[in-house]
């Protein structure tokens, strides 16, 4: 007999009964976890997700490896992408169903900075997780300018104040210090700019004709793919860079640079990566999107599970991430930052329990206020060339972030008993985090008042 | 000499050796058949033993030099490490196969496998514990050694720091004193300038001294004893294996095909029971919905494929498929066009500018162009384009098993194949044109005398007599195509050996360098065999080389 693949819904009731009797014996304890999950009627069950080799792709990888996708009836392939641009292009062309994206990417794509496409996100993958590393030479210079840094364990956070004289000296001799970030609309770009600008160093502005963002800058900040960061630091192509893990720890391990500050110090618990799909895909596959979100929430929760303040699953997560088809860096390097510590120098290991936050603090909810913050940064540095009204900020954020999908997924998980109601925002939550001044320069940010926020900075567009 | 059966075998073998171009094996065969032993032994010595010694020497030099050549990702890998990388990659592939097998397993076999895996886990855990301990001890020892090495230096550094501090203070006083004297008119103003200059020079010298010490300390810290790393890697490897077996257990217990289906059907069963007894309308609706969904999902479990992971074996197959398609396109375009160029001077004149301009263009440029130009055909949704749905179907027309479904063809693969075709086109084209235009005039005259038509002339005279050069061109094309492919795959991230290399570069792990060199050998060896195949084909069609085609 020719073996035909079974089509959906072609089982006759008699067949089902027959299969049930033969298979029922199997469905004992072992299948308990599957029984719990209420599977959705997904539109598409074989999916391809893309990621970049950074530790914050963890929720996607964990959802696959720990079987959370499978529990939703999804068979997911997770494929490494060479760079952020190609990743976005692959999502737009449909080659990938969804991907690990920089928070700024869906927003920039939607408003048409760079490739234009309507991208939406129902899930924030993580908070924090980046660092700024400077070369050994610059670090020595900074130590000379600031006595306090001349120690194996200097006081943190380190501001760019001690960097300012070096930048000025270089500028006087006709040279702008070259620095690296990973993508024009990446969190890294905004973070290093924020850090520099907080110490009165102008990182340069984007204009309608200058898409590199060099105009009027004291330094030159350009794009470098994350894995090449340490190499550029060593070759002198960059003297500092802002990047995610494991590339800061890599610099410490190889002794070619010193991470001076993490983005946790620049802005406590800032949103980092999101899970993005095209609007079209989300409209065509609403149930699949909810199922994916469910699996991701479970993965996030698994990653942040702790006992007595110790993260219990992180070691296993590092083990999985160090596989060559995922992040592929050495286990020890990944472990350095993911298990609650961060090495600033070989001699300076600090506890940083919140260096990677995947779920706690209701982190994975897609907040409108996060979208607005990225929009304000795009305006501040001139990527958005025209001043916009406050309503535009709110509307744009609302067209990209999908808290409804997140809440639907969360409710189902609560009903299944794998989540509690206090782990996600309440039903009547409006999607805006309360105003905060947890920034390195202490300036307060309120997502509902983007225009006031723009005015409060010294450097950059003020409206 | 009459052909005895033995001779037949001998000459058969020799002919094959000659055909495949493995001339080195000629003397051993002759020796085995007892032909002029002295001469054969000397040939073997010259053309087999010496090359083997030379290659061994190269490997020896490599192993000796590699550990001393430090790079940013550690020392350069030795042959042993590259071999280790090969073993790790094979293990990685095996793991995927094991997972797939576990996913498909059912009934008794599954339960048996579970016990097997469980016992293996406990074995591994005991082993891992030991290694973990060894690693901790090694780390402690290593740290102690490093600390011991650093201690005197750091004491020296502290001393120096104190010295510098006092020197700085005394310099400051000296300068102030001098300034006071100048102010009082006791010294000339220029003396202050000299002193400031002197002092800045001494400060500079002090800084230098400090830097030397700093660097020494840093050097020691950056190069901890090798034993730490080795112990750590061993422990890591064991832990990785445990991780894998735990994943297998997970698959066997929960995500196995049969288990998944049983669970869903069991759920349908309970729901049916609830439905039958239910009096609550909203529950009736929700349960009915859930029954339908779960029944459907249970049915679709059968067609669900275990999501694959790229292994080096699969990537190699994909690369071969890509280069084959690209080469085929190149041949299909190059041979007819080349023949036309060879036959007609005007066609040649028309095409020469195009050939000369495009031939030197880099594959990278072609890839980017094809991504746009060919990509346009796959819009709006490449995943649903008939080309890919057809190529990736499990069954054609519902019953022919698709042999290339496993390749998972996608636009990136097509772009890479097009790039290969574009770069492989030129040698074949130019050689074909050359072959056709160099046909013996006598042959063409014969055709004229016989009044052969165009097609008869083409197939009876032109093609047969130009074939050797055509194949020589195709051989070069295949070589170029294979070389170009790796770059194209790396850039387009089409799964294959090129992506393997690129991913390893991005991984930046301690294994990456060894893996890249491994890929280098795989590419080289496959390229070698592809070339051999082309040589055989080339010899088979050659008329002029009497020795190879009797």
B147 reaches A (C-beta below 8 A): no
Domain of residue B416, CATH code: 1.10.3720.10
* pLDDT, mean of residues B84-107: 90
In this complex, the residue of B240, B254, B267 whose CB is nearest that of residue A33 is: B254
B interface test, pick of A48, A95, A290 with most B CB neighbours within 10 Å: A95
Tokens of B367: 């890839």
CA gap A119, A283 in Å, rounded: 11
Q: Residue B402 has what pLDDT?
A: 80
Cα–Cα separations (whole angstroms), residue B215 to B147, B153, B218: 15, 10, 5
Interface mutation target, options A12, A25, A34, chain B, most CBs of B under 10 Å? A34
- Residue A132 pLDDT class (50, 70, 90 cuts): very high
Q: What is the pLDDT of residue A130?
A: 92
Name every chain A residue with its beta carbon within 8 A of the beta carbon of B303.
5-7
* Cross-strand pairs, A46: A75
How much is the mean pLDDT over chain B? 87
Distance from CA of A328 to the nearest CA of B (A): 5
pLDDT > 60? residue A74: yes
CATH of domain A46-129+271-343+353-454: 3.40.190.10
Domain locations in chain A as residue ranges: 46-129+271-343+353-454, 130-269
Q: Is B87 within 8 Å of chain A by CB?
A: no
Size of interface A-B (CB pairs under 8 A): 201
Query: Hey, which of A254-258, B450-454, B477-481 has the most confident mean pLDDT?
Result: B477-481
Same domain, yes or no: B522 and B457: yes
In this complex, is the C-beta atom of B398 within 8 Å of any C-beta atom belonging to chain A?
Answer: yes
d(CA A64, CA A286): 20
Shared domain check, B51 and B151? no
Residue B91 domain-assigned?
Answer: no
Q: What is the pLDDT of residue B543?
A: 60
Query: What is the end-to-end Cα distance of chain A in Å, rounded?
Result: 72
What is the average pLDDT across B19-48? 85
- pLDDT value for B440: 84
Among residues of chain B, what percentage have pLDDT more than 90? Answer: 31
Residue A8's pLDDT band, with cuts at 50, 70 and 90, is: very low
Q: Which of A2, A15, A31 to mutate to test the interface with B (most CBs of B within 10 A)?
A: A31
CB A421 within 8 A of CB A413: no
Whether residue B506 and residue A40 make contact (CB cut-off 8 A), yes or no, is: no
The whole-number average pLDDT for the span A146-150 is: 85
A130-269 shares the fold of A46-129+271-343+353-454: yes
Q: Are residues B444 and B536 in the same domain?
A: yes
3-state helix, strand and coil shares in percent for chain B, rounded to the nearest 5: 85, 0, 15
Question: Chain A within 8 Å of B243 (Cβ-Cβ)?
Answer: yes
Q: B104 CB near a chain A CB, below 8 Å? A: no
* Residue A33 pLDDT level (bands cut at 50, 70, 90): very low
Residue at token pair 């050939």:
B355
Structure tokens at A234: 């060593």
Indicate whether B316 belongs to any domain. yes
Residues B318 and B211 in one domain: no
Please check whether residues B221 and B340 belong to one and the same domain: no
Q: Does the ipTM exceed 0.90?
A: no
3-state secondary structure A82-137: CCHHHHHHHHHHCCCCEEEEECHHHHHHHHCCCCCCCEEEEEEEEEECEEEEEEHH
pLDDT band per the 50, 70, 90 thresholds, residue A416: confident
Task: Look at A296 and B8; give whichever has higher pLDDT.
Answer: A296
A9 contact residues in B (CB cutoff 8 A): 295-296, 299
Closest residue to A331, CB basis, from B236, B306, B382: B236
What are the two backbone dihedrals, phi and then psi, of residue A439, each rounded to the nearest 5 degrees?
-105, 165
pLDDT at position A11: 47
Flag whether pLDDT at B545 surpasses 60: no
What's the pLDDT score for residue B72? 63
* pLDDT score for A22: 47
Mutation site for B-interface testing, chosen from A3, A37, A39 by largest number of B Cβ within 10 Å: A39
| A39, A86, A320 ranked by CB distance to B297: nearest | A39
A40 touches chain B (CB under 8 A): yes
The whole-angstrom separation of Cα A130 and Cα A273 is 11
Structure tokens at B430: 């130019």
Residue with tokens 């719990």: A36
How many Cβ atoms are within 10 Å of B408's Cβ, its own excluded? Answer: 17
Same domain membership, residue B464 and residue B335:
yes
Query: What is residue A380's predicted lDDT score, i.e. its pLDDT?
Result: 93
Nearest Cβ partner for B295 among A11, A76, A234:
A11
Looking at the domain assignment, is residue B411 inside a domain? yes
Nearest CA in chain B to A16: B265
Please check whether residues B53 and B129 belong to one and the same domain.
no
> Which residue has 């790796």 as its token pair?
B486
- Asked if the Cβ–Cβ distance from A8 to B221 is below 8 Å, we say no
For residue B474, the distance in angstroms to the closest alpha carbon of chain A comes to 32
Can you read off the two tokens belonging to residue B85? 């990388």
Weakest-pLDDT range from A207-221, A239-253, A437-451, B181-195 = B181-195
pLDDT band at A133 (very low <50, low <70, confident <90, very high): very high
> Which of A30, A79, A234 lies at the smallest CB-CB distance from B72?
A234
Average pLDDT over residues B202-227: 84
In the prediction, which pLDDT does B74 show?
67
Query: By percentage, how much of chain B surpasses pLDDT 70?
Result: 97
What total number of domains does chain B contain?
3
Give the residue from B215, B235, B255 where a domain finishes: B235
Phi, psi at residue A122, to the nearest 5°?
A: -100, 0
Do the domain assignments include residue B87? Answer: no
Task: Extract long-range pairs of B155-159: CB within 8 Å, 24+ residues apart.
Answer: B156/B213, B157/B210, B157/B213, B157/B214, B157/B217
pLDDT grade for A32, boundaries at 50, 70 and 90: very low
CA distances to A58, A198, B75, B521 from B67, rounded to whole Å, are: 34, 45, 5, 20
Alpha helices in B344-440 (DSSP H): 345-358, 363-373, 386-392, 411-437
- Chain B contact for A354 (CB, 8 A cutoff): no
Query: What DSSP character marks residue B438?
Result: T
CB nearest to B299's CB, from A6, A76, A329 = A6
**Residue in chain B lying closest to A326 (CA):** B507
Do B437 and B511 belong to one domain? yes
- What is the percent of chain A with per-residue pLDDT over 70, rounded to a whole number? 92
Residues of B in contact with A76 (CB under 8 A): 307
CATH 3.40.190.10 corresponds to the domain A130-269? yes
Does the predicted TM-score (pTM) go above 0.90? no
Distance CA A257, CA A230 (A): 8
Measure in Å the smallest separation between the Cα of A309 and chain B Cα atoms.
Answer: 24
Q: Flag whether B85 is in a domain.
A: no
User: What secondary structure does DSSP assign to A242-290, as a single string?
Assistant: EEETTHHHHHHHHTSEEEEEEHHHHBTT-EEEEEEEEHHHHHH-HHHHH
pLDDT at A404: 94
Q: Looking at chain A from residue 208 to 267, which residues have their Cβ under 8 Å from any Cβ of chain B?
A: 225, 227, 230-231, 234, 246-247, 250, 254-256
Looking at residue A147, its pLDDT comes to 83
| R_g of chain B, CA atoms, integer Å | 36
Contacts of A8 in chain B (CB under 8 A): 296, 299-300
Q: How far apart are CA B105 and CA B30, in angstroms?
A: 53
Given a cut of 80, whether residue B20 has pLDDT beyond it is no
Q: Which residue in B234, B393, B509 has the most chain A C-beta atoms within 10 A of its own C-beta, making it the best mutation to test that interface? A: B509
A87-118 pLDDT, tens digit per residue, is 998 899 888 999 999 999 999 999 988 888 99
From B302, B508, B515, residue closest to A329, measured CB to CB? B508
pLDDT for B279: 85
The residue whose two tokens read 């003020």 is: A462
Q: Is residue A4's pLDDT more than 80?
A: no
Decide if B526 contacts B323 (C-beta within 8 A). no
Burial annotation A243-265 (CB, 10 A radius, 16+ → b, else e): bbbbbbbbbbbbbbbbbbbbbbb
Give chain B positions within 8 Å (CB) of A10: 299
Name the residue among A350, A113, A348 with its Cα closest to residue A213.
A113
- What residues contact residue B398 under an 8 Å CB cut-off, 6+ apart? A4
SS3 label, residue A342? strand
Of all residues in chain A, the one with the smallest CA distance to B413 is: A95
Q: What is the pLDDT of residues B510-540, one digit of tens each?
A: 888 899 999 999 999 999 999 989 888 888 8
Contact A47, A76 (CB under 8 A): yes
The answer to the question of residue B283 being in a domain is no
- Is residue B177 one of the residues assigned to a domain? yes
Domain carrying residue B322: 312-541
Cis amide prior to A157 (ω within 30 degrees): yes
The pLDDT of residue B520 is 93
Per-residue pLDDT for A369 more than 80?
yes
Residue labelled with tokens 């051993």? B28
B181/B319 same-domain check? no
Question: Does A38 lie at the interface with B, CB-CB under 8 angstroms?
Answer: yes
What residues of A are in contact with residue B260 (Cβ under 8 Å)?
31, 34, 70
Calpha distance B150→B277 (Å, rounded): 78
Q: Give me the pLDDT at residue B350, please.
A: 94
Does B426 lie in the same domain as B324? Answer: yes
């Amino acid at each position: 007999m020719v073996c035909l693949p079974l089509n959906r819904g072609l089982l006759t009731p008699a067949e089902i009964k027959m299969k049930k009797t033969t298979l029922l014996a199997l469905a004992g304890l072992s299948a308990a976890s599957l029984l719990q999950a209420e599977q959705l009627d997904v539109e598409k069950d074989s999916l391809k997700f893309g990621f970049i080799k950074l530790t914050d792709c963890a929720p996607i990888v964990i959802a696959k490896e720990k079987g959370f996708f499978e529990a939703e009836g999804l068979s997911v392939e997770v494929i490494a992408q060479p760079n952020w641009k190609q990743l976005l292009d692959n999502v737009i062309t449909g080659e990938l169903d969804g991907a690990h994206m920089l928070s700024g990417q869906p927003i920039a794509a939607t408003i048409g900075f760079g490739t234009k496409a309507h991208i939406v996100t129902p899930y924030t993958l993580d908070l924090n997780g980046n660092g700024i590393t400077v070369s050994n030479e610059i670090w020595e210079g900074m130590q000379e300018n600031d006595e306090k840094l001349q120690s194996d364990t200097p006081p943190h956070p380190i501001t760019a104040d001690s960097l300012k004289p070096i930048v000025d000296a270089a500028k006087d001799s006709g040279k702008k210090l070259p620095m690296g970030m990973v993508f024009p609309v990446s969190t890294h770009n905004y973070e290093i700019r924020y850090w520099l600008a907080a110490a009165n160093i102008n990182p340069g502005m984007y204009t309608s004709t200058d898409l590199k963002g060099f105009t009027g800058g004291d330094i030159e900040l350009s794009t470098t793919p994350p894995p090449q960061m340490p190499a550029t630091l060593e070759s002198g192509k960059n003297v500092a860079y802002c990047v995610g893990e494991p590339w800061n720890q890599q610099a410490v391990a190889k002794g070619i640079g010193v991470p001076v500050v993490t983005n946790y110090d620049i802005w406590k618990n800032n949103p980092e990566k999101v899970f993005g799909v095209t609007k079209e895909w989300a409209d065509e596959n609403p149930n699949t999107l909810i199922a994916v979100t469910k699996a991701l929430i479970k993965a996030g929760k698994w990653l942040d599970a702790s006992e007595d303040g110790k993260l219990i699953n992180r070691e296993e997560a590092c083990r999985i991430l160090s596989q060559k088809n995922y992040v592929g860096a050495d286990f020890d390097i990944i472990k350095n930052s993911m298990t609650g510590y961060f090495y600033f120098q070989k001699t300076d290991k600090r506890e940083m329990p919140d260096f990677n936050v995947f779920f706690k603090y209701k982190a994975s909810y897609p907040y409108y206020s996060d979208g607005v913050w990225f929009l304000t940064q795009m305006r501040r540095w001139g990527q958005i060339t025209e001043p916009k009204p406050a309503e535009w900020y709110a509307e744009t954020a609302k067209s990209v972030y999908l808290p409804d999908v997140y809440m639907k997924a969360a409710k189902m998980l609560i009903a299944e008993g794998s989540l509690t109601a206090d782990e996600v925002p309440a039903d009547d939550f409006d999607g805006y985090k309360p105003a905060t001044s947890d920034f390195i320069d202490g300036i307060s940010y309120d997502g509902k008042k983007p225009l006031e926020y723009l005015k409060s900075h010294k450097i950059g567009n003020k409206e | 000499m009459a052909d005895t059966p033995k001779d037949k075998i001998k000459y058969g073998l020799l002919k094959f050796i000659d055909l495949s171009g493995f001339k080195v094996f000629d003397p051993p065969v002759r020796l085995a058949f007892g032909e002029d032993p002295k001469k054969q032994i000397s040939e073997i010595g010259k053309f087999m033993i010496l090359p083997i010694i030379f290659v061994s020497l190269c490997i020896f030099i490599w192993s000796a030099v590699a550990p001393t050549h430090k790079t940013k990702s550690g020392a350069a890998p030795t042959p042993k490490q590259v071999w280790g990388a090969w073993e790790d990659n094979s293990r990685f592939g095996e793991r995927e196969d094991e997972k797939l097998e576990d996913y498909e397993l059912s009934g008794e076999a599954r339960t048996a496998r579970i016990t097997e895996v469980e016992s293996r886990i406990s074995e591994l855990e005991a082993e891992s514990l030991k290694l973990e301990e060894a690693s901790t001890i090694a780390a402690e020892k290593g740290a102690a050694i490093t600390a011991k090495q650093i201690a005197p230096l750091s004491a020296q550094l502290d001393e120096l720091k104190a010295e510098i501090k006092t020197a700085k203070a005394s310099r400051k006083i000296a300068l102030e004193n001098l300034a006071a004297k100048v102010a009082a008119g006791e010294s000339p103003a220029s003396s202050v300038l000299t002193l400031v200059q002197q002092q800045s020079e001494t400060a500079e010298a002090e800084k230098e001294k400090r830097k030397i010490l700093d660097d020494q300390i840093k050097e020691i810290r950056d190069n901890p004893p090798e034993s730490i790393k080795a112990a750590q890697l061993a422990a890591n490897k064991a832990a990785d294996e445990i991780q894998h077996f735990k994943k297998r257990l997970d698959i066997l217990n929960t995500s196995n095909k049969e288990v998944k289906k049983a669970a869903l059907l069991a759920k349908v069963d309970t729901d049916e029971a609830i439905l039958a007894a239910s009096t609550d309308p909203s529950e009736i609706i929700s349960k009915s919905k859930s029954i339908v969904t779960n029944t459907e999902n249970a049915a679709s479990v059968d067609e669900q494929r275990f999501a694959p992971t790229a292994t080096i074996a699969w990537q190699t197959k994909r690369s071969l498929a890509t280069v084959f398609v690209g080469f085929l396109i190149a041949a299909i375009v190059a041979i007819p066009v080349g023949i036309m160029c060879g036959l007609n001077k005007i066609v040649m004149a028309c095409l020469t500018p195009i050939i000369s301009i495009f031939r030197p263009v880099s594959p990278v440029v072609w890839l980017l162009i094809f991504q746009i130009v060919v990509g346009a055909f796959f819009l709006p949704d490449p995943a649903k384009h008939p080309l890919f749905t057809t190529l990736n179907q499990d069954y054609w027309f519902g019953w022919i098993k698709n042999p290339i479904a496993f390749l998972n063809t996608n636009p990136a693969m097509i772009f890479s194949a097009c790039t290969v075709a574009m770069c492989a086109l030129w040698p074949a084209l130019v050689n074909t044109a050359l072959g056709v235009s160099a046909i013996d005039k006598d042959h063409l005259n014969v055709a004229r005398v016989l009044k052969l038509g165009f097609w008869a002339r083409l197939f009876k005279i032109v093609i047969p007599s130009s074939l050797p050069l055509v194949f020589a061109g195709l051989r070069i094309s295949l070589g170029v195509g294979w070389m170009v492919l790796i770059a194209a795959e790396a850039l387009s991230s089409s799964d294959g050996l090129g992506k393997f290399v690129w991913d390893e570069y991005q991984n930046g792990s301690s294994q990456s360098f060894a893996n890249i060199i491994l890929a280098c050998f795989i590419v080289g060896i496959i390229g070698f065999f592809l070339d051999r195949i082309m040589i055989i084909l080339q010899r088979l069609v050659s008329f002029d080389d009497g020795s190879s085609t009797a």
